[in-house]
Structure 1
Amino acid sequence: MPEPTPVIMIVEPYGGSIRQQNPNLPMVFWDDAAVTRGDGIFETILIREGRACNLDRHSERFKASAALLGLPAPVMDSWVKATQMAIDSWYEHPAAGDASCTWTLSRGRASTGLASGWVTVQAVSREKLSQRERGVEVMTSPRGYTIDTRLPGVRDVTRGDVEGVEDAPAPWLTVGAKTLSYAANMAAVRWARAHGYDDVIYTEGDRVLEGATSTVVSVKGDKLRTPTPGGDILPGTTQAALFEYATTQGWRCKTKKDLTIDDLLGADSIWLVSSVRIAARVTRLDGHKLPRPSNEEEIKALIVGALG
Structure 2
Amino acid sequence: MAASTRTPAPQPIIIAVEPFGGSIRNHSPLLPLVYWDDAAVTRGDGVFETLLIRNGKACQLEQHLERFQRSAARLDLPVPKAEDWRKATSMAVEQWAEKTEADAKCVWTYTRGRPTANPNEPHPSAWLTINPLDAEMLRQREEGIKVLTAPRGYSVETIDEDLPWLQVGAKTLNYAANMSALRWAKRRGFDDVIFTEGDRVLEGATSTVLAVRGNKLRTPAGSGILAGTTQAALFAKAEQEGWNCRAKEMDLEYLCEKADSVWLLSSVRMAARVRRINEKKLPKPDNEATIQQLVASSLG
Q: Could you tell me whether the CA contact under 8 Å between 1:176 and 1:234 is conserved in 2?
A: yes
Q: 2:250 matched to 1:259?
A: yes
- 8 Å CA contact 1:214–1:272 kept in 2: the answer is yes
**Alpha carbons of structure 1 residues 127 and 173: separation in structure 2 relative to 1, 3 Å:** closer
* 1:253-298 deviation line (CA, Å, top 9, x unaligned): 0110x20101001211000000000000001111111111111000
* Partners of 2:159 and 2:224 within 8 A in 1: no
SS at match of 1:64: helix
Cα deviation for residue 88 of structure 1 reads: 1.0
Q: Which letter maps to 1:106? A: T
TM-score (norm 2): 0.93
Q: Which residue of 1 aligns with 2:3?
A: none
What corresponds to 2:187 in structure 1?
Answer: 194
Q: Which residue of 1 aligns with 2:141?
A: 132
The alignment status of 1:50 with 2:50, answered yes or no, reads no
The answer to whether the 8 Å contact 1:31/1:111 transfers is no
8 A contact 1:214–1:274 mirrored in 2: yes
Counterparts of 1:89 and 1:303, CA distance in 2: 26
Name stretches of at least 5 consecutive residues in structure 2 with no aligned partner: 1-6
Query: TM-score, normalized by length of structure 1?
Result: 0.91
Partner secondary structure for residue 298 of structure 1: helix
Other-structure match for 1:107: 112
- Tell me the distance in 2 between the aligned counterparts of 1:172 and 1:284: 34
1:14 to 9, 20, 30: 20
> Is 1:226 aligned to 2:219, yes or no?
yes
Query: Are the counterparts in 2 of residues 217 and 226 from structure 1 also a CA contact under 8 Å?
Result: yes
- Mapped contact 2:261–2:282 kept (Cα < 8 A): yes
- Structure 1 residue runs of 5 or longer lacking an equivalent are 152-167
Query: CA contact under 8 A between 1:4 and 1:96: conserved in structure 2?
Result: no
1:117 is aligned, of 117, 126, 140, to 126
Q: Which moved more, 1:177-186 or 1:111-120?
A: 111-120
1:98 and 2:89 correspond: no
Partner of 1:39: 45
User: For the aligned residues, what is the CA RMSD?
Assistant: 1.4
The partner residue of 2:273 within 265, 275, 281 is 281
- Distance in 2 (CA, whole Å) between partners of 1:149 and 1:118 is 34
How far did residue 67 of structure 1 move? 0.5
Give the AA of the match of 2:151.
P
Please report how far the alpha carbon of residue 111 of structure 1 lies from its aligned counterpart in structure 2 after TM superposition.
Answer: 4.6
1:25-50 CA-partner distances (Å, limit 9, x unpaired): 11100110000000000000000011
SS in 2 for 1:91: helix
- Aligned residue for 2:22, secondary structure, equals coil
Going from structure 1 to structure 2, the CA distance change for 1:169 and 1:212 (only over 3 Å counts) comes to closer
One-letter amino acid of the structure 2 residue matched with residue 102 of structure 1: V
Aligned residue type for 1:62: F
Whether the aligned pair in 2 keeps the contact of 1:7 and 1:90 (CA below 8 Å) is: yes
Provide the C-alpha distance between the structure 2 equivalents of 1:283 and 1:18, rounded to a whole number of angstroms. Answer: 43
2:4 corresponds to: none
Q: Structure 1 counterpart of 2:50, which letter?
A: T
CA contact (8 A) 2:55 2:101 kept: no
Structure 1 moving runs of 4+ over 6 Å: none
* 1:262 alignment partner AA: E
How far is 1:134 from its partner? Answer: 0.2
* Residue number among 54, 59, 62 corresponding to 2:65 in the alignment: 59
Identity %: 57
How far apart, in 2, do the equivalents of 1:211 and 1:172 lie?
21
1:91 deviation in Å?
1.6
Shift of 1:16: 2.0
- C-alpha deviations, 1:27-81, integer Å up to 9, x for none? 1001100000000000000000110001111011001001100001110100110
Equivalent of residue 295 in structure 1, options 262, 265, 287: 287
Aligned 8 A contact 1:14 1:72 in 2: no
CA-to-aligned-CA distance 1:221-246 (integer Å, 9 cap, x gap): 10000001x52111100000101110
Q: Do the aligned partners of residues 292 and 172 (structure 1) sit closer, same or farther apart at CA in structure 2, a change above 3 Å counting?
A: closer
Aligned counterparts of 1:134 and 1:124: Cα–Cα separation in 2: 16
Aligned twin of 2:154: 145
In 2, Cα distance between equivalents of 1:190 and 1:173: 22
8 A Cα contact 2:159 2:166, kept in partner? no
**Structure 1: distance between partners of 2:113 and 2:79:** 14
